Amino acid sequence: MNEPNGDVIQGTLDLLILKTLSLQPLHGFGIARRIEQISRDVFKVNPGSLLTALQRLERAGWLDAEWRQTENARRAKYYSLTRTGRKQLEVETADWNRRALAVARLLKAEG
Amino acid sequence: MNPVGIWRRMARGVRALVNRPDTDREIADEVQHYLDLATEAHRAQGLSAADALRAARLELGSATAVREQVRSHGWENAVDTAVADLRYAGRRLRAAPGFTVVAVMTLGIGIGASAAIFSAVKPILFEPLPYPAAGRLTMIWEAGPDGARLAGTFGAYRTLEERSHSFDALAVMKGWQPTVTGGDRPERLEGQAVSSSYFRTLGVSLALGADFQSADDRRGGTRVAILSDQLWRRRFGADRSIIGRTIPLDDDPYLVVGVLPAGFEPVLAPAAEVWTPLQYDLADGRAWGHHLRTVGRLKPGVGIDQARSELAAIAPDLAKTAAAAAGFFPGGFGLVRLKDEVNGGVRDALWAVIGAVALVLIIASVNVTNLLLARGAHRQGELAVRATLGAGRARLVRQLLTESLLLATLGGVVGMAVAWLGVRALVAASPANLPRLSAIAVDGSVFAFGFGLTTLVGLAFGLAPALQAAGRDPPEGLQWTTRRTVGGHRRTRRALVIAEVALALVLLVTSGLLLRSLSRLLAVDTGFEAANRLTMQIQTAGHRFAADSVTTGFFAEALDRVRGLPGVVSAGLVNQLPLSGDRDEFGAHFEAGPAEAPKAFNGFRYAVSPGYLETMGIPLRRGRLLENRDQAGAPLSVLISESLARRAVPVGDPIGHRLRIGAPDGPAYTIVGVVGDVRHASLGLTESEAVYTTLAQWRFADNAMSLVVRVARNPGALAGTAREAIWSVDRNQAIVRVATMEDLVAASAAERRFALRLFEAFALAALVLAAAGIHGVMSASVAERTREIGVRSALGASRGSMLAMVVREGMALAGVGVLLGLAGAILATRAIEAMLFGISRHDPPTYLGVTAVLGAVALMACGVPAWRAARVDPATTLRTE
């Protein structure tokens, strides 16, 4: 398997969604697009996982969802971050940084 | 998770469940929108419309799968699956109505019988008495050196009140049956005369008015009464102003001081509705009469043994006090917890009943398991297809368990209906002396019990088939549909049938033993002739009877009028009638010769009219019976029973010996005759020491007498005219307890008959279920082996040999079950040993008899499948393969 692994790291999809939505409200496809763009196509988002995750985050009260007209006059479900979602983003960001730092240290120690 | 979040999840889940189509459409829309945008993106990169769509689809995967993935998130989907499982299970059960009805009824009977029995035994076995800190309540009696129980005396009670430090409160009581007059008709009430401490000892507060005061105990004090809630409502219209008013009881005005709360349950006298202070004092002639019951409330922290040893320490002094007052104290005390006293007589029997009903429930569950396993064999194909199509093993187990739980729940619903009816029947059929009868009801805890039982049963019988189904590989399961092979599940089913037969046999043996006990009991020689005797109790009340001579005169006159009635052969009066529940015992103090120690025996004291013994057919063994010449003023004559004669005068002729009755210093009676023993307290008890005097020669007039009338035939028909004859003397006297002597004999065996009925019902249910089990297994076996049987007959096996093969197989199962059951019964019948009468619990005829019955039933159960096997047509069978 020489192909670079493009799957979103387990457990980080929520973080990526929250971060993306903290910039502006988006629909599902927009979120996927934005993640791929910002990560410069490192991450490929599986649509099934994405839509399930959106459902779950909405249920948890971190996202609000609203059916709106898109620029080209179609109905789409737009997601935006709630206040608790914003707090959750801070928590998950801090958590991610802590882990990333730990992994970096481990790698350095080995090298 | 914050509470808002939980709320939100719940709300969304509920909305999703309720608006399932809307939610689904929304998800579909979102997925579709995603797909559209992805397609556009691909087109923007230069793909053709068709290629763009394909690429987008590839990325997204199956749109349906995504929708399913999104849908399966959230708790509401678990509910959804369960509902789907339930629907499916419902369809499966509807598709096999025969199976469903049999299984549901089987479970209904098992669960219903268990719940009914549970509700009946719950107040007795599992609940404290309905008083505060009821564990501290004790019953105290006087006991002789041999442990023989004697009723308490007022003298002993007063001594204990002064000397004992173990009790917070002590109380004495005796029965009291006043007639309440005024209103449209007089009514005989059941009540108790008690020391004023009675309700305080029980820990009961009044709903209205005030408890008795210690001043109410004074002899000759104001007559006061406390009413039960029921009496207050029935007789006095729940009038709150009753407090402070007087009511006429036995022609005397009684001041009503209190009314008890509606929930008060008089455990010590279940029928009592009215209470009055006893008003004895030590100068009272009755102070040392053994006729009171004593109840005590232990101080907190005082153990029962501690109280016993304190009572033992007080006993010697009490004996001296009693002797000084010309009383008698037997030398010691007995003390038990009140709960044990109230329930002790039936507790073991109830545990046996619980055991029996548990066996029925187990047999019912085993039967349903067997039915499910048999169905499971037919369903292998279906399950295998489902597994092959991707249903997970857990999913299949869950599905099957849902099905058996649904079955159990249906059974539970039927069961609760059975329980509700069963409890009614139980209460209606139960012997009157079953303690705490009024507390028996189907209540919340019974429902909880039934529900728990249902779940347990559902899981128990569902697990075996579910695991069996899940444990098989799909391909093997698919082969099963051809029914070529016969698998290991048959072994399980055989084991289950054997267990069923064994358990049924245990129940059959128990009820067989009880049945034989009852017939032995009813064959007991009562000592009197019961046929064609009518009895009734005449009770005198009112000031008219203040003088004994009036009472005696009234009874004599009433007896004469009854004797004059057409059809009456003879008639007599007695103060206590055998098997009626009356119990009046006195000490018989025999005059000792110069070199002998004085001898005293406890015995029943009968005051009779001349002619009573002849009317009852009690045989004269020696000397003469009581006659008209044994009247007041004549030399005092007494008859004694054979047993008393044997014990008191072991050598020589008892005629001419003298004895005193009650007090050792009372007048001496000369023994003029010896008569046969009579079963007085119950058919099973051989307490037969008794003395008989004439009414005229007894020192006081009993105010209630039983009349016994002997007629040529049909004693019940005389009741009306006899009552009228008595009322023609005095219209205002209550006549109660009208019954033929045969009724009384039957009632005396009521408790055993009740237990027998229960066990019979259980045994019958077990027998039917076991038969159904054998039939089911053999039918399935024949059905599975149709091909084998076909081949055999094609090869020349006769129909007879096919028949014999099936019968042999079925009877082998039954035989193993019977052997195990016999061993089990030998152990299990220990539980009912105390309920047996006249036979051993290893009674061989019973064991042989029930084995024969079970064998015959098993043979019949094998018959149908065997007949079917014999009729297998080899040509048809082989062609269908």
Q: Please report which confidence band the pLDDT of residue B646 belongs to, taking 50, 70 and 90 as the band edges.
A: very high
Asked if A61's CB is within 8 angstroms of B5's CB, the reply is yes
Dist CA B586 CA B689 (whole Å): 10
Q: Chain A: give the shortest CA distance to residue B43, in Å.
A: 15
Q: Please, which residues bridge with residue B671 across strands?
A: B638
Beta bridge partners of B533: B710
B101-110, B647-656, B789-798: segment of lowest average pLDDT: B789-798
pLDDT-derived band at A2 (thresholds 50, 70, 90) equals: very low
**Confidence category of residue A3, pLDDT binned at 50, 70, 90:** very low
Contact B304, B138 (CB under 8 A): yes
pLDDT tens figures, B804-839: 888 898 899 899 999 999 999 999 888 888 888 888
- The single-letter code of the amino acid at B280 is Y
- For the stretch B16-21, contacts whose Cβ atoms lie closer than 8 Å and that sit 24 or more positions apart, written own/partner, are B16/B74, B16/B76, B17/B76, B17/B79, B17/B80, B20/B80
Residue B593, pLDDT above cutoff 90:
no
ipTM of the complex model = 0.83
pLDDT score recorded for residue B480: 45
Give the residue on A whose Cα is nearest the Cα of B12.
A59
What string of DSSP letters covers B269-312? STT--EEEE----TTSTTTT-S-BEEEEEEPTT--HHHHHHHHH
pLDDT in tens, B45-54: 888 888 888 8
Report which DSSP code applies to B543: G
User: Which stretches of A1-107 are assigned E, i.e. beta strand?
Assistant: 26-27, 63-69, 75-81
pLDDT of the residue at B179:
82
Distance of residue B79 Cα from the nearest chain A Cα, in angstroms: 17
Residue (of B647, B627, B640) closest to B676 by Cα position: B640
- Over residues B617-622, the mean pLDDT reads 94
Crossing angle of helices A47-59 and B20-44, in 10° steps, is: 140
In this complex, do A59 and B9 lie within 8 Å of one another by their Cβ atoms?
A: yes
State how far the alpha carbon of B615 is from the alpha carbons of B298, B534, B709, in Å: 49, 10, 7
Q: Which residues of A3-31 are buried (b: 16+ CB within 10 A; e: fewer)?
A: eeeeebeeeebbbbbbbbbeeebbbbbbb
Residue indicated by tokens 């008015």: B209
Smallest Cα distance from A29 to chain B, Å: 5
Give the per-residue pLDDT at B1. Answer: 46
Question: With 70 as the cut, is the pLDDT of residue B77 above it?
Answer: no
pLDDT of B15 above 60: yes
Q: Does the pLDDT at position B6 exceed 70?
A: no
Q: What is the DSSP letter of B212?
A: P
Q: Is A59 within 8 Å of B73 when comparing Cβ atoms?
A: yes
Cα Rg, chain A, nearest whole Å: 16
Beta carbons of A47 and B69 less than 8 Å apart: no
Q: How far apart are CA B141 and CA B614, in angstroms?
A: 36
Q: What is the pLDDT of residues B714-750, one digit of tens each?
A: 998 999 899 899 988 887 777 888 899 998 998 888 8
The pLDDT value recorded for residue B483 is: 45
φ/ψ region of A61 (left if φ > 0, alpha if ψ in -120 to 50, else beta) reads: left
Nearest CA in chain A to B76: A59
Query: Residue B487: what pLDDT?
Result: 53
> Tokens at residue A100, please?
């990333």
CA angle B38, B44, B47 (to 5 degrees): 85
**pLDDT class of B614 with cuts at 50, 70, 90:** very high
CA distance B39 to B56: 5
Instruction: Report the relative pairing of strands B293-298 and B167-176 from DSSP bridges.
Output: antiparallel
As a whole number of angstroms, the distance between CA B881 and CA B714 comes to 73
- Are B409 and B441 in contact by the 8 Å Cβ rule? The answer is no
In this complex, the residue of A47, A55, A56 whose CB is nearest that of residue B34 is A47
Which helix (H) or strand (E) segment holds residue B693: the answer is strand B690-694
Is the pLDDT at B136 greater than 90? The verdict is yes
Cβ–Cβ < 8 Å for B753, B842: no
The string of pLDDT tens digits covering residues B485-506 is 445 567 778 888 899 899 999 9
Task: Give the separation between CA B712 and CA B726, rounded to whole angstroms.
Answer: 20
Helix axes B3-18, B75-95, angle to 10 degrees: 40
pLDDT-derived band at B616, boundaries 50, 70, 90: very high
Contact in structure between B466 and B401 (CB atoms under 8 Å): yes
Q: What is the DSSP string of B314-344?
A: HHHHHHHHHHHTT----SEEEEEEHHHHHHH
Among chain B residues, the shortest Cα distance to A47 is held by B60
pLDDT digits (tens, 9 = 90+) for B276-306: 999 988 887 778 877 889 999 999 999 999 9
Question: Is A77 in Cβ contact with B33 (below 8 Å)?
Answer: yes
Is pLDDT at B459 greater than 80 in this prediction?
A: yes
Of A29, A46, A61, nearest to B37 by CB-CB distance is A29
Contact B799, B840 (CB under 8 A): no
Chain B residues inside the 8 Å CB shell of A75 = 29, 33
pLDDT at A107 over 50: yes
Q: Nearest Cα to A50, choosing from B33, B423, B296?
A: B33
Q: Does A51 contact B70 at a Cβ distance shorter than 8 Å?
A: yes
* Beta-ladder partners of B192: B175, B275
CA B147 from centre of chain: 29
Does B72 or A39 have the greater pLDDT score? A39
**Residue B642 near residue B688 (C-beta atoms within 8 A):** yes
Supply angle C-alpha B799, B800, B805, rounded to 5: 100
More confident site: B610 or B344: B610
Range B358-364 average pLDDT: 89
Kindly list the distances between the CA atom of residue B306 and the CA atoms of B303, B309, B317, B333, in Å, as whole numbers in the listed order: 5, 5, 18, 13
**Least confident residue range of A80-84, B9-13, B253-257:** B9-13
For chain B, give the mean pLDDT: 85
Residue of A42 and B13 predicted with greater confidence: A42
Q: Which residue has better confidence, B460 or B670?
A: B670
| Contact present, B576 and B583 (Cβ < 8 Å) | yes
More confident residue, B146 or B29: B29
Is pLDDT larger for residue B760 or for residue A74? B760
Count of Cβ atoms closer than 10 Å to residue B425 Cβ: 12
pLDDT recorded at residue B71 = 63
Whole-number pLDDT of residue B435: 73
Strands of the sheet containing A75-81, edge to edge, are A26-27, A75-81, A63-69
Sort out which chain A residues have CB atoms less than 8 A from B61's CB and list them. Answer: 46-48
pLDDT of residue B863: 86
Confidence of residue B436 (pLDDT cuts 50, 70, 90): confident
Query: What is the percentage of chain B residues whose pLDDT exceeds 70?
Result: 91
Model pLDDT, residue B73: 62
Collapsing DSSP to helix, strand or coil, B757 comes out as helix
Is B267 a residue whose pLDDT tops 60? yes
Q: Are B223 and B176 in contact (CB under 8 A)?
A: no
CA angle B641, B645, B649 (to 5 degrees): 165
Mean pLDDT confidence for B426-431: 81
d(C-alpha B702, C-alpha B693), whole Å = 13
Q: At what angle do helices B799-828 and B844-870 cross, to 10 degrees?
A: 150
- Using DSSP, state whether B246 is helix, strand or coil: strand
The answer to whether A6 faces chain B, any CB pair under 8 Å, is no
Among residues of chain B, what percentage have pLDDT more than 90?
Answer: 35
Banded model confidence at residue B583, pLDDT cuts 50, 70, 90: confident
Average pLDDT over residues B421-442: 79
Q: How far apart are the first and last CA of chain B?
A: 62
Task: For chains A and B, count residue pairs whose Cβ atoms are closer than 8 Å.
Answer: 70
Q: What is the pLDDT of residue B476?
A: 53
The angle at the Cα of A51, spanning A49 to A57, to the nearest 5 degrees, equals: 95
In angstroms, the Cα distances linking B37 to A31, B31, B33, B41, B55 are 12, 10, 6, 6, 12
Q: Which of B86-90, B225-229, B320-324, B795-799 reaches the highest mean pLDDT?
A: B225-229
Q: Is the pTM of this model over 0.90?
A: no
Owner of token pair 């929520």: A14
The residue of chain A with its CA nearest to that of B33 is A76
Spell out which residues of chain A touch residue B60, defining contact as CB-CB under 8 Å. 47-48
pLDDT of residue B485: 43
**Cα separation of B395 and B82, whole Å?**
11
Per-position b or e across B40-73, b if 16+ CB within 10 A of its CB: ebbbeeebeeeebbebbeebbeebeebbebbbee
Do the chains contact at A60 and B2, CB–CB below 8 Å? no
CA distance B8 to chain A (A): 7
Show the beta-strand stretches assigned E in B410-557: 533-539
Mean per-residue pLDDT over chain A, rounded: 82
Average pLDDT over residues B377-403: 74
Tell me the chain B residues in contact with residue A33 when contact means C-beta distances shorter than 8 Å. 41
B481 confidence band (pLDDT: 50, 70, 90): very low
